Structure 1
Amino acid sequence: MYNGEKRIDRPLRWGMVGGGRTGQVGYKHRTGALRDNTAYRLVCGAFDLDAARGRDFGLNLGVAEDRLYPDYKTLIAEEAKREDGVEVVTIATPNFTHYQITRACLEAGLHVICEKPLFFTVAECEEIAALAEARGLIVGVTYGFTGHPLVRQMAAMVKKGMLGEIRLVDLRYTHGFNAGDDANASEAQRWRTDPRTSGPTFVLGDIGTHVHYLSEIVLPHMKIERLLCDRQSFIRSRAPLEDNAHVLTHYDNGAVGRLWVSSVDAGNMGSQRYRFVGSKAAVEWTDSRPDQLIYEVQGEPVRILHHGMPYLEAESLDLDRMGALHTEGLGDSWANIYLWIAQAIDAKSRGDAAFLETHHYPGIEAGTEGVRWLEACVRSADAGSTWVDYDQAPTRTEATETQDA
């Protein structure tokens, strides 16, 4: 069990671009980073395109007035003048800005933690990965529930062979908050349904990448060979961006998978469901019952495993923060993700290659894989929902069209 004691020598000086008063994700990032005051300290921010609103917001967070900036360029320039300048910046802005802000931060010698989807194309991801490597910097990506202890429990059970050979993968992340039109949508919602600011996808990128990455954590030994994506714009004004999609998957070990993501699942307040079925048994976890993992062995009674209990694997117990008596939730998962990234930044700064070799955190590779998955989904859907080879790179024309969208 983790009780908040420091795992790096001192808190990292941390700043935010975006994530202000009208944003939907800023508080999740601050909850994750600041849950342990041993990992990060919020020292500066450019929280809003409206500079006055961002300044007022930052003051209410307790950030010093002279370290509240009107934009990311000013933040980078002014913080570089300080001996106690920012070391790592979280980017919680609309998708179309991720690449340019990430690049600017890396060029200024700053580590980056970025929202997903990371960028619009795999080519952009690979370019940023090369830049980060050349500068000796870390790029982290935030994927919601992937820091939950029971997610790690599922991964440990698969690794130990408790499920047998994996055959079926059933994934879902749906809600109904976009079942109506966008006439009265908030600022934070409107950019998500505009191809110029969201990129080539809506729900696939907004919530589908969470599901895809979590499945990679549980099934690291399995790779996608082919997929078929069928996507819809039930609210026609959102076209060509989808508000509903189904993805069928063929894996290299012969397993098959299906994934459903939707923001028009009317009446659903938001739920994620993950079921992994092997030749011996299955495990199932949902965020609507985050404390419980269903373990079903063929021919035996169903077992309900509870987080924080000593019968769980060490990989799960090491992440538990609340103990079995109390609920372990999204904030705890984000705190684990932010802590992992802080440890990676600390190790990178010290040149500790051995630690980084075995340390898990969602880095540039995870972000790149998410974009690769989105490119394959779009390629399949736009070809009439046909099967496509997963590793097939988009043509130069397709990549240019995506960047120009």
Structure 2
Amino acid sequence: MINGEKVIQQPIRWAMVGGGRGSQIGYIHRSAALRDHNFELVAGAFDIDAERGKDFGVNLHVSPERCYPDYKTMFEEEAKREDGIQAVSIATPNGTHYAISKAALEAGLHVICEKPLCFTTEEALELEMLAKAQNRVVGITYGYSGHQMIEQARQLIANGELGEIRIVNMQFAHGFHSGEVEEQNASTKWRVDPKMAGPSYVLGDLGTHPLFLSEVMLPNMKIKKLMCTRQSFVKSRAPLEDNAYTIMEYENGAVGTVWSSAVNAGSMHGQKIRVIGSKASIEWWDEQPNQLRFEVQGQPVQILERGMDYLYPQALADDRIGGGHPEGLFEAWSNLYTRFAKAMAALDSGEEMNDVWYPGIEAGVEGVRWVENCVRSADNGSVWVDYQHELSPSK
């Protein structure tokens, strides 16, 4: 159980790029990172407007001289300090992630980046090589994977409770962009701009979330081939899609689907994952994150509750407030930031961290790779394509 006691010797000196005033995701990053005293916010380049960013940083109790006009200046100036930053979180539009991540790694910093990590597998593999060469952690904020019941699902599958895995059904399909909301919403506007969002909208922005949940639960299942169809129901978003269906075949013979959509009118969030085995199935829905459906063939449905003693120890290790109390997104992100901190501290001290998983550089690479394969399939007439593991814009 997590109770706030230190899990690393000293808080990691930490900064943010982006996440300034008005950024919802910035507040989630800070709340998660600071909750367990694993990180200390000491610097930031919070806004493209330097004065606005400085004013915001001061209101977060960051020293004025450590509120920088841009990330390049921050990395240069912090490197001169004995108490300079050790890690940085990147909460900026997608099109900036690659350049900032690369600069941070070259500066010797650990990186926590919003997804997608970048736009092409070629860029992602370059960042992976750089992270390994620098011996730095790159964490990707697949925040839903920090929910306690995701770990319970992982352990149920690993222990054979479901039997042979046959089907994985995934979706992230909300309805908030069923109309042309980007005309009044700046944070949506860049998401449907190929220059800032990259080669996809909902495939990368939404579909990669349940995809990573499946990777956590089923770490040994690899995609063999896939077929994708994508649509722009709000026509002004073309060539980017606001709805997509992906069908996948895995190397072990299992099949999977991902429905990615921002036009599922009336749906609040609609993120679900259902894993079906030969003996039983499990289902998790992020709008009811404290429960996991466990359905054994021929038996009554079981609703497993977060924080209860019957869960696996690995799941209970992520518990914060005991059974019966609802936990939510902030707790999930805090669990993720705790994992990042442990990994960073271990690398810095030369320790092994074989018993702790987190969405690292490999998860970032795989998310980019999956989107590229989906786009390749959809743009070639929604055909089956062999799952290529190294793709670039020219392929």
User: Normalised by the shorter chain, which TM-score bucket?
Assistant: over 0.9
Q: Which residue matches 2:374?
A: 377
**Counterparts of 1:343 and 1:209 in 2: how far apart (Å)?**
24
Any residues of structure 2 matched to 1:295-334 within 5 Å, and which?
A: 295-334=294-333
- Pairing 1:63–2:62 present: yes
Contact kept? 1:22, 1:187, Cα under 8 Å: no
1:116 aligns with 115
Post-superposition offset of 1:393: 3.7
* Aligned residues of 2:122 and 2:390 also touching (Cα < 8 A): no
Q: Which secondary structure state, in structure 1, belongs to the residue aligned with residue 276 of structure 2?
A: strand
Structure 1 segment 39-188 matched on structure 2, within 5 A: 39-182=38-181, 184-188=183-187
Cα-to-partner distance string for 1:292-324 (whole Å, 9 max, x where unaligned): 111111111111111110111111111111211
Contact 1:201 1:242 in 2 (8 A): yes
CA drift at 1:246: 0.7
1:21-40 pair list within 5 angstroms: 21-37=21-37, 39-40=38-39
Kindly indicate whether residue 363 of structure 2 is the aligned counterpart of residue 363 of structure 1. no
Q: CA deviation at 1:193?
A: 0.6
Unaligned runs of 5+ in 1: 399-405
Deviations 1:57-79 (A, max 9, x none): 11221111111111101111111
Describe the superposition over 1:239-284 as per-residue Cα deviations: whole angstroms up to 9, x where unpaired: 1111111111111111111111111111112121111110001111
Q: Does the 8 A contact of 2:203 with 2:244 survive in 1?
A: yes
Task: Provide the secondary structure at the position in 2 that maps to 1:357.
Answer: coil
Give the AA of the match of 1:88: A
Q: What is the deviation of 1:326?
A: 0.7
Q: Following the alignment from structure 1 to structure 2, what is the Cα–Cα distance between the partners of residues 159 and 250?
A: 20
- SS of equivalent to 1:360: coil
- Whichever residue aligns with residue 14 of structure 1, its letter is W
In the alignment, the residues of structure 2 paired with residue 395 and residue 64 of structure 1 have an alpha-carbon distance, to the nearest angstrom, of 42
Structure 2 counterpart of 1:401: none
- Indicate the percent of aligned positions where both proteins have the same amino acid: 55
CA distance in 1, matches of 2:80, 2:392: 43
CA offset digits 1:129-181 (Å, max 9, x no partner): 11121122111111021011100101100011101101111111111111111
Paired AA for residue 127 in structure 1: E
Residues 155 and 219, structure 1, Cα contact 8 Å, conserved in 2: yes
> Kindly tell me: are residues 163 and 268 of structure 1, through their superposed partners in 2, closer, same or farther at Cα, counting changes over 3 Å?
same
CA contact (8 A) 1:171 1:258 kept: yes
- CA apart distance, 1:396: 5.8
Deviation at 1:188, TM superposition (A): 1.6
- Letter aligned with residue 3 of structure 1: N
Supply the AA of the counterpart residue of 2:268: M
Give the distance between the partners of 1:24 and 1:230, measured in 2 at CA. 31
Structure 1: distance between partners of 2:105 and 2:293: 43
CA contact (8 A) 2:117 2:364 kept: yes
Superposition deviation, residue 24 in structure 1: 3.4
One-letter amino acid of the counterpart of residue 341, structure 1: F
What count of residue pairs does the alignment treat as equivalent?
395
- 3-state SS in 1 of match to 2:183: coil
Instruction: Give me the CA root mean square deviation.
Output: 1.2
Offset, 1:182: 3.9
Distance of 2:307 and 2:393 partners within structure 1: 49
Alpha carbons 1:24, 1:188 under 8 Å: kept: no
Tell me which residue corresponds to 1:402.
Answer: none
SS at match of 1:206: helix
Q: Distance in 1 between matches of 2:349 and 2:251?
A: 38
Unaligned stretches of 5+ residues in structure 2: none
